A and B are shown apart, each in its own frame.
Chain A
Amino acid sequence: MPDGFRGQLLSGWGRAGATRADVQTPPDADAIVDLLSEADGRGIVARGLGRSYGDAAQCAGGTVVDTVRLAGAGAVDASGEVEVAAGTSLDTLVRHSVPDGWFLPVTPGTRQVTVGGAIASDVHGKNHHVDGGFCRHVTAMTIATPTGLRRVSHAQDGELFWATAGGMGLTGVVTSARLRMLEVDTDRMLVDTDRFVDLDGVMSAMEGGDDRYRYSVAWVDCSGPVRAKASRARGRPGVGRAVLTRGDHARAEDLPSRLRSAPSPPGRPRLGVPRCVPRGILNRASIAAFNEAWYRRAPAHREAEVQPMWRFFHPLDGVADWNRLYGRAGFLQYQFAVPPSSGDVVTAVVRELSARRIPSFLAVLKRFGPSSPGPLSFPIPGWTLALDVPLGAEGLAACLDRLDEMVAESNGRVYLAKDSRLRPDVLAVMYPRLAELSSVRRRVDPGGVVRSDLSRRLGLD
């Protein structure tokens, strides 16, 4: 690097579009307030474990506050609440709380996110249709802003609380949060599995039966044409075969006595991916083969299977740095949500991707329950679909632009924690309450210094 430039290159989990920022690792909340009040127009934003796929936790030419030193959790009190420093990962938190029988009230597909990041994205899990998003279980939090440290809750400055919930870090830096945990008896799950030949089947099963389960998610195969041919030969519809898994925490009495031990923390990742992966390991053929094998492995119908909790919630945490599999080009994740009446948009998206032969790993389909009051919080009641796509697929950019329009027209939205390419004018249609976020930001950050590459790209500043 030429002299006079410091900092380091940061990119999202999708590994596209690295930008350089001055990374600071302040020891405590006061030091963060100092950094925020000294920041200028080049901007400043928080970063946790870098698991958002796009450019939410980077700030080109400005300052990035790495919250790694804000670590640690108190004891879970009798009511199940725990105060956690925002740089603590969910992994660390559950290792600390699970032996006493306290699990995360909401967990995304990985434990490798910080509490601050989970709040900034208002992450959701397989239980959203029952329990809502992460921030619904946050009873209070401390936010460092350029105008000082603020303690907020639903009742106390609820406006700032909810603007921060899913606010992509644009209101300041969350330094600590009080979280209401979920009591569990064991570290096992009782899981029902069902296999469906097409999307319509799995969607009606979810509409009809999800309410009986705390957790529900379906994996959908979007890699169409290859298999569509085989399926047609057997007289079956081709697009979007799926495996639906639903379940709940097992109580001790549900289990044979040998499995009735106290809950134990997760194991460490046993596999890793080397830094340099040759181009094209994940291509149409390998992805289709993987999807095929995965579908055939699933039983057509199985009830009350006992599964380890960690494998049920975080299957990918067993492989460290799996994002490197996509090689230097990187990848992106497209996740959108549409209202309950717009299930046809989900079908149309899967159809479009398979017709365009865009290689995609299993997509994750789930039903959302009520949304949170946050103006930028992603979940809305209805359906959500998330899929990983390698960058470099032909026609991908234009295809996703068309999908955005379909989603926006049905009053849906895409998830900003996954986004790295949305058009700013479409954002305003998807999130009609942007003005509320702006007014809170003007109040706590009158200089407009809290900003990120994402906020600049989407015209949120």
Chain B
Amino acid sequence: MLDAFGQPQSAVVLGGTSDLAGAVVRALAQRRLRTLVLAGRDEERLRSAASSAVAAGAERVSTVRFDAQDVSDAARAVDECFDVAGPVDLLLLAVGVLSHRQDELDSSATAEVVTATYSWPAVALTRAASRMSEQGYGRIVVLSSLVAVRVPRHNFVYGSAKAGLDAFSIGLGDALSGTGVIVQVVRLGRAPTKMTEGLPGAPLSTTPEAVADAVVAGLESRAQVVWVPPAARWVALARLVPQSLWRRIPG
């Protein structure tokens, strides 16, 4: 069960092999987390993430494999996670590929990014929402991004998919009102992780540890939207910039 501070004893992490997910799991294991299901694509990396989780204090850790390109498999993957974990206090969605500057109009790359960043997660969240509604309680935390707030020109495919997932999650949270399930969206500045290696540093950047602290604090506050770093909330003002000007801003 969740405690009064919103801290989970059992969690499922979709996209459990990322640096971010690892940092969040470590922070949760310092509090109350004992039962954990890590779901991801790469078996090797899942194993290594699982042993880090055990080292951090999680007692029962299992892994589930899925391929974020296979939307038809998303509900099955989520069901497997729930069946393995027992009642799930927290579902953390950390799935999504960051496309490096996609200047070319490459339709297959677009399909891949949109599938892994929006379609698969949306289906998975729908299934998780329904399982948690049956439980009568639960938290869903969706890692979103500042690019979802206003889609940058140079990263519009990924940005638009994140914007879609962000809006989907907010809508899902509203739809779940009264079920005991709470959906929280964590909008991240840039974190230096495996996905962003080689990209130049940016303002409003953050670290996996800062994200983990923000997730833990967010669980306590029950806020619908959590900004990391907190100053990132001012990015919302970017919505007011005229499009003619916005497209000239170097990404």
A binds B: yes
State the A residues within 8 Å of B (CB). Answer: 1-2, 5, 7, 9, 14, 16-21, 54-55, 59-62, 329-330, 332, 391-392, 396-397, 420-421, 423, 453-454, 456-457
Inter-chain contacts of A16 with B (CB < 8 A): 4-6
B134 touches A61 (CB 8 A): yes
Residues of B close to A457: CB separation below 8 A: 1-3, 9
- The reply on B196 being an interface residue by CB < 8 A is no
B4 & A60 in contact (Cβ 8 Å cutoff): no
User: Inside 8 A of A397's CB, which chain B residues have their CB?
Assistant: 5, 7, 31, 220
Instruction: Check B5–A9 contact: CB distance below 8 A.
Output: no
Given contacts A1-B178, A329-B221, A397-B220, contact A61 B135 (CB under 8 A): yes
| B32 lies within 8 A of A423 (CB) | yes
Alpha-carbon gap, A457 to B87, bound state (A): 11
The answer to whether A392 and B4 touch (CB under 8 A), given A18-B180, A61-B136, is no
Q: Chain B contacts of A59 at CB under 8 A?
A: 136
Q: State in angstroms the CA–CA spacing of A7 and B135 once bound together.
A: 12
Whether B84 sits at the interface, judged by CB under 8 Å, is no
Query: Which A residues are CB-close (under 8 A) to B9?
Result: 457
Of B175, B180, B220, B221, which is within 8 A of A60 by CB? B180
Instruction: Check B133–A60 contact: CB distance below 8 A.
Output: no
Could you tell me the dominant secondary structure of chain B's interface residues? Answer: loop
Q: How far is the CA of A453 from the CA of B32 in the complex (A)?
A: 15
Query: Once bound together, how far apart are the Cα atoms of A5 and B7, in whole Å?
Result: 25
**A16 vs B222: C-alpha distance in the bound complex, in angstroms?**
10
Nearest-Cβ distance from residue A119 to partner chain B, whole angstroms? 24
Tell whether A20 pairs with B7 under 8 Å between CB atoms, given A2-B176, A392-B220, A456-B87: no
Closest to B135 in A: A61
Q: Is B107 an interface residue (CB 8 A)?
A: no
Closest to A54 in B: B4
Given A329-B221, A397-B220, do A60 and B136 touch, yes or no (CB 8 Å)? yes
User: Is the C-beta of B120 less than 8 angstroms from some C-beta in chain A?
Assistant: no
CB distance from B40 to the nearest CB of A (A): 28
B137 at interface (Cβ–Cβ under 8 A)? Answer: yes
Q: Does B177 sit within 8 A of A, measured CB to CB?
A: yes
Tell me the chain B residues, 199-225 only, with Cβ under 8 Å from chain A.
Answer: 220-222
Annotate B131-163 by CB proximity to A: 1 below 8 A, 0 otherwise. 001111100000000000000000000000000
Q: Among the listed A2, A421, A423, A456, which residue makes an inter-chain contact with B4, where contact means beta carbons less than 8 Å apart?
A: A421
Bound form: Cα–Cα A2–B134 in Å: 11
B179 interfacial by beta-carbon distance below 8 Å: yes
Q: For B7, list chain A residues within 8 Å (CB).
A: 397, 421
Nearest CB of B to A423, in Å: 7
**Complex-state Cα separation, A332 to B7, whole angstroms:** 15
Do A7 and B4 touch (CB < 8 A)? no
In the assembly, what is the distance between CA of A9 and CA of B181, in Å?
10
What's the minimum C-beta distance from B30 to chain A, rounded to whole angstroms? Answer: 9
Q: Complex formed: what's the CA distance from A287 to B32 in Å?
A: 30
Are A332 and B4 in contact, CB atoms less than 8 angstroms apart? yes
B6 — nearest CB in chain A belongs to which residue? A17
Expressed in whole angstroms, the Cα–Cα distance for A7 and B137 within the complex equals 12
Contact of A391 with B4 in the complex, beta carbons under 8 Å? yes
A20/B220 in contact, CB under 8 A = no
B3, A420: Cβ atoms under 8 Å?
A: yes
What is the minimal beta-carbon distance from A326 to any residue of chain B, in angstroms?
12
Closest CB of chain A to B60's CB: distance in Å? Answer: 13
Look across to chain B and name the residue whose beta carbon is closest to the beta carbon of A42.
B136
B133 engages A2 (CB within 8 Å):
yes
Please name all residues of chain A whose beta carbon is closer than 8 Å to the beta carbon of B4 when the two chains form the complex: 14, 16-17, 54, 330, 332, 391, 420-421
Closest chain B CB from A390 CB (angstroms): 11
Cα–Cα distance between A332 and B177 once the two chains are bound (Å): 23
Compute how far the CA of A280 lies from the CA of B30 in the bound complex, rounded to whole angstroms. 28
Given that A1-B178, A9-B180 are contacting pairs, would A17 and B3 also be in contact in the complex, using a CB cutoff of 8 Å?
yes
B156-186 near A? 1/0 per residue, CB < 8 Å? 0000000000000000000111111000000
Residue ID in chain A nearest B1 by CB atoms: A457
Taking a contact as CB atoms under 8 Å apart, the answer to whether B179 and A5 are in contact is: yes
Query: How far apart sit A371 and B130, CA to CA, in the bound complex (Å)?
Result: 46
Interface contact A456-B179, CB-CB below 8 Å: no
If A397-B31, A423-B32 touch, does A21 touch B5 (CB 8 Å cutoff)? no
Q: Would you give the 0/1 interface string for B221-237, flagging 1 where the beta carbon is closer than 8 Å to chain A?
A: 11000000000000000
A-B contact pairs, 17 of them (CB 8 A): A1-B176, A16-B4, A18-B137, A20-B179, A60-B137, A61-B134, A391-B5, A392-B220, A397-B5, A397-B7, A397-B31, A397-B220, A421-B7, A423-B32, A453-B1, A454-B1, A457-B2
A301 and B147 alpha carbons, distance in the complex (Å): 66
Which 5 pairs from chain A and chain B are nearest by CB? A61-B136, A420-B4, A60-B136, A457-B1, A20-B180
CA distance A54 to B4 in the complex (A): 8
Q: A17-B6, A55-B1, A332-B4 are in contact. Are A60 and B135 (CB under 8 A)?
A: yes
Interface centre among B7, B137, B221 (most CB of A within 10 A): B137
B3 touches A421 (CB 8 A): yes
Task: Give the chain A neighbours of B221 by CB distance below 8 A.
Answer: 329, 392
Q: Tell whether, in the assembled complex, residue A62 and residue B220 are in contact, meaning their CB atoms are under 8 Å apart.
A: no
Residue-wise, chain B 53-68 has the 8 Å CB interface mask toward A (1 for contact) of 0000000000000000
When distances are taken between beta carbons in the complex, the residues of chain B under 8 Å from A2 are 130, 133, 175-176, 179
Question: Which chain B residues (1-38) contact chain A, with CB distance < 8 Å?
Answer: 1-7, 9, 31-32
Contact A391 B137 (CB under 8 A): no
Q: Could you say which of A5, A55, A62, A453 has the most chain B C-beta atoms within 10 Å of its C-beta?
A: A5
Point out the residues of chain A lying under 8 angstroms from B135, CB to CB.
60-61
Closest Cβ–Cβ distance, residue A18 to chain B (whole Å):
6
Is the Cβ of B137 less than 8 Å from the Cβ of A61?
yes
The listed residue (B130, B136, B176) touching A19 by CB distance below 8 A is B136
Q: A61-B134, A61-B136, A397-B31 are in contact. Are A1 and B3 (CB under 8 A)?
A: no
Which among A21, A454, A457 has the greatest number of chain B C-beta atoms within 10 A?
Answer: A457
